[in-house]
A and B are shown apart, each in its own frame.
Chain A
Amino acid sequence: SQKIEQNSEALNIQEGKTATLTCNYTNYSPAYLQWYRQDPGRGPVFLLLIRENEKEKRKERLKVTFDTTLKQSLFHITASQPADSATYLCALERNYGQNFVFGPGTRLSVLP
């Protein structure tokens, strides 16, 4: 059956460290994978998109990798700050780009 998982429901890290979040999927073949940030009571906000032929994408302190063999994406936040505390969602493209399936999310807390 098809499944998309994110490494843990909650992750606590110390300010200044690198946060690494994982997205694993089974029985999907996405051409694109996206990461979103969601704050409590608000809609998700797009962060990064990575294509299947791209190994890595960076944007400021954010880095995403995409390994289609392992069926895994890693999302890194370097030099993390308390303001980075939020829930992070991965989303896979499916049905030839028609729509998306989301992972359950990881709630990140960056402790000062």
Chain B
Amino acid sequence: DVKVTQSSRYLVKRTGEKVFLECVQDMDHENMFWYRQDPGLGLRLIYFSYDVKMKEKGDIPEGYSVSREKKERFSLILESASTNQTSMYLCASTPALAGDNEQFFGPGTRLTVL
């Protein structure tokens, strides 16, 4: 059974903390994505990666960075968490040529920044 896993289901952090969200996929997929989901705004793409050590900005990269040191792992980093980064964070992966393939999503991490 193919799987995308995320390190935490729920996370509570304080303003200014550095936050790491981890995502691991076991399908040998080339592409990995980080989204955030907020009520009324849908899923918005933060960053994506199409290969190890490669990263591309999505629609809302400000305040975030990413790391992809291994093919199966894609990390999202909040350098200095702020309250407006309270959200549901979803990781996804696809094989090469993402557009023609389904995205496999993780269960999500609900992050609260106090």
Residues of A within 8 A of B (CB): 9, 30-32, 34, 36, 41-46, 49, 51, 89, 91, 93-94, 96-105
Contact = CB atoms under 8 A, between A and B. Distances in A.
Interface residues of B, number: 29
Interface of B: 4, 33, 35, 40-45, 48, 50, 56, 58-59, 90, 92, 97-108, 110
A34 B102 contact: yes
A9 B42 CA distance: 11
A103 B106 CA distance: 19
A101 to B, nearest CB: 7
Given A98-B48, A99-B48, A49 B42 contact: no
Contacts, number: 71
11 contacts: A9-B40, A30-B99, A34-B103, A43-B106, A45-B105, A46-B102, A89-B42, A93-B100, A97-B98, A100-B45, A104-B41
Given A41-B108, A43-B106, A98 B99 contact: yes
Q: Which of A45, A91, A96, A97 has the most CB of B within 10 A?
A: A97
A50 B82 CA distance: 39
A42 B103 CA distance: 14
Contact of B99 (A9, A31, A45, A102): A31
